[in-house]
Structure 1
Amino acid sequence: MSLRGDVCLVTGACGFLGKRLVMLLLEEENMAEIRMLDKHVEPQFLKTLEDCRGDTKLSVFEGDIRDSDFVRRACRGASVIFHIASIIDIKEPVEYNEMYGVNVRGTQVLLESCIQESVTSFIYTSTLEVMGPNSKGEPIINGSEDTIYDCTLRFSYSKTKKEAEQRTLQANGEVLQNGGRLATCALRPTYIFGDGCRFLLYHMGKGIENKDVLLRMSLPEAHVNPVYVGNVAVAHLQAARSLKDPQIRNAVGGKFYFISDDTPPVSYSDFNHVLLASLGFSIQKKLPLPLCLLYVVCFFLEILCRMLQPFIRIVPPLNRQLVTLLNTQFTFSYQKAKKELGYNPRYSWEEARKRTIEWLASQLPLERERIRANR
């Protein structure tokens, strides 16, 4: 099922995933219009789209996703929404009210606008972290959508993303202003990597500061399965096609899907090394402290920060939940998305790795210069 002639809105269009999705839509679908919603849409990004836009109209909507009038204007006349925008925060420097406002309230504003403006399809970009891991660090190996896992979410990020996902799926089947029905689904990508990934750039910078030795914060056996950004964009396109297809729309609507690919399972820290080893980086052999001691240090840091909170807000560089996240085996299959959405990873691990390393190589001199200038 093609999206030819459709009007779509992409929130977070200038983010890591948003840019890839906009490019993919221009390359593969002769859409009537693509609306790019973000707090700021970079002129340079718009220039890169000129050669591949064809007859598709590109519209820019700069503003706050919590502004209902603004969002409603952006949704007017659209047929599909790709909702990618959110605040991503695992160290928790962002105030909870701000994160809740963007991640939950912003999603609710979009859903309400869809109903008011009779938008028929809504794809929500969720995250693996709505699943866990739990505070015990209980592993999941090759999990599926049917996996039962006991977890009380502790990160503000994962809690707000979970609530936003639930609201999205609960909105499936809502009656639209024109009498139609809204169809929704949620995608839960594993750790997204690729050319343009700011997390990889961050770890490269830390490695440069440490004399080209990458910091180890994950046990080697704590395997996760990263997913290439290009494949996540493909999954979003397939979800939109599925929600448009009247034969499978009802079967897909109201469901969530894990999105991974054929990237070999590896720990977070070792994955950084896999991508940076050819650029001259080595990696620490051991954690900076034994895992149990690392938890104790984080516990006392958290207590200290709470005691100081009435006077000053200090964010510890590490917390127990982050240590758990980095050291829990947590892998998931994409087979249900393959079966029901028709999702197949387009980029092999070899190609994804090559593209990512080439981008990191292009950024390495800039990072070295930036760090040199800041010393």
Structure 2
Amino acid sequence: MDGARVYLVTGGCGFVGERIVELLSQQDYIKEVRGFDSAAREEVEKLSTGTENVVRACCVLNIPYLLYTSSIAAVGPSTSCEPLLRGNEDTQYGGEVELPYGKTKAMAEKIVLEANGTKPSNGGTLRTCVLRANTVYGEKAAFLQELYVLARARNGVLNYLEPEDTERNHTYVGNVAWMHVLAARHLQLKADLLAGQVHYCFGDTPSRKGFLVRHQLLSSADPSVRLGSHIPYWKMWLMIQLHRIIRVILSPFWRPQPFLNVPLLNTIVTTFSFETDKASRHFGYKPLFTWQESRLRTAQWLKAAAGSLGPPPAA
């Protein structure tokens, strides 16, 4: 334990953060793991520009390493909906990012990467690295539970929006967390190699077709869930516009929450996938959980969660 470090996980109560804390706590080279989350501290919610605050704290408190969890949304799709087919960390992709979430992630990435090499007050050097997650599934994935509720309401039919040739990467939450553990460790051991770098998160989920992955996960938990049909773009676009009109008309009396918007729809139907082994080359990453294990763990959680939903509605 000589020289063992203390790890702080911001967002440690979140979907991915919780798993990072769990895996870090199993490593014998770590002295202590601390979690910090706005869900646990109300005063944290009053702070703005969180990434800037984290970088500033690293410099003031002489913290030498910072690993930032970003997203493929920081890259795109762009407002022009240009596809990206199996790119990698070096692929050039231009244009303005479509979703507000992606824009904030891109801004945060810039802050973190520009902070690499900063000299804190003690004369040391801050080393930073970025991991880009994609569509993350697994236990406590809210979107899976919501899809399951929708499928049950439709007698087990799971329809989908994306065209069948659309590609997206999906990664099990345990493997995303494991990549964080390895990257954080090797950022200390191989700072010259990892510092200032960006790595995509990946696992061994076999399909890049989102609707197939979702169906396999839900049907593993409930064999009655069956794949439905593709919802055409024009039909969903009209539904979004109709919903907006209804919101305006009924706004004095009722304001239903939007279920989807056009930018998000455009993102869903646009191919945005990558293919890389950079994390394997840089810090020896291999998925900790196989596709079979990932699917089983997710299915077991969904089965347990389904018990709290009650019986499906009568046909």
The TM-score with structure 2 as length reference comes to 0.89
Describe how 1:64-143 pairs up with structure 2 within 5 A.
Answer: 64-65=43-44, 101=48, 105-143=49-87
1:12-62 alpha-carbon deviations (Å, 9 max, x no partner): 111111111111011123422211111345xxxxxxxxxxxxxxxxxxxx3
Structure 1's 3 and 347: CA in aligned 2 closer, same or farther, altered over 3 A? farther
* Deviation of 1:263 (Å): 0.7
Distance 1:345 1:196 in 2: 20
* Deviation of 1:6 (Å): 0.7
* Deviation of 1:250 (Å): 2.2
* Deviation of 1:202 (Å): 1.1
The 8 Å contact of residues 206 and 215 in structure 1, kept in 2 or not, is answered as no
Structure 1's 176 and 38: CA in aligned 2 closer, same or farther, altered over 3 A? same
Distance 1:309 1:322 in 2: 23
The AA in structure 2 aligned to 1:159 is: K
Unaligned residue ranges in structure 1 (runs of 5+): 42-61, 69-100
Describe how 1:245-324 pairs up with structure 2 within 5 A.
Answer: 245=189, 248-278=190-220, 279=222, 280-287=224-231, 290-295=232-237, 297-298=239-240, 316-324=258-266
The correspondence for 1:357, drawn from 286, 290, 299, is: 299
Give the equivalent residue in structure 2 for 1:209. Answer: 153
Give the equivalent residue in structure 2 for 1:39. Answer: 38
Give the equivalent residue in structure 2 for 1:80. Answer: none
Give the stretch that moved more between structures: 5-14 or 275-284: 275-284
Describe how 1:154-173 pairs up with structure 2 within 5 A.
Answer: 154-173=98-117
Distance 1:211 1:3 in 2: 58
The correspondence for 1:366, drawn from 295, 304, 308, is: 308
Alignment of 1:7 onto 2:6: yes
Give the equivalent residue in structure 2 for 1:348. Answer: 290
* Deviation of 1:291 (Å): 1.6
Unaligned residue ranges in structure 2 (runs of 5+): none
The 8 Å contact of residues 38 and 63 in structure 1, kept in 2 or not, is answered as no
Alignment of 1:331 onto 2:299: no
The 8 Å contact of residues 191 and 225 in structure 1, kept in 2 or not, is answered as yes
Distance 2:244 2:194 in 1: 42
CA RMSD of aligned residues (A): 2.7
Distance 2:251 2:126 in 1: 44
Structure 1's 24 and 127: CA in aligned 2 closer, same or farther, altered over 3 A? same
Give the SS at the match of 1:27.
coil
Distance 1:22 1:165 in 2: 22
The 8 Å contact of residues 120 and 182 in structure 1, kept in 2 or not, is answered as yes
Answer 1 or 2: higher relative contact order, Cα 8 Å, separation at least 6: 2
Distance 2:70 2:255 in 1: 29
The 8 Å contact of residues 208 and 368 in structure 1, kept in 2 or not, is answered as no
Aligned length: 311
Distance 1:316 1:3 in 2: 54
Give the SS at the match of 2:92.
coil
* Deviation of 1:220 (Å): 2.2
Alignment of 1:175 onto 2:119: yes
Give the equivalent residue in structure 2 for 1:223. Answer: 167
Structure 1's 230 and 107: CA in aligned 2 closer, same or farther, altered over 3 A? same
Distance 2:275 2:94 in 1: 19
* Deviation of 1:122 (Å): 0.4
The 8 Å contact of residues 98 and 267 in structure 2, kept in 1 or not, is answered as no
* Deviation of 1:120 (Å): 0.5
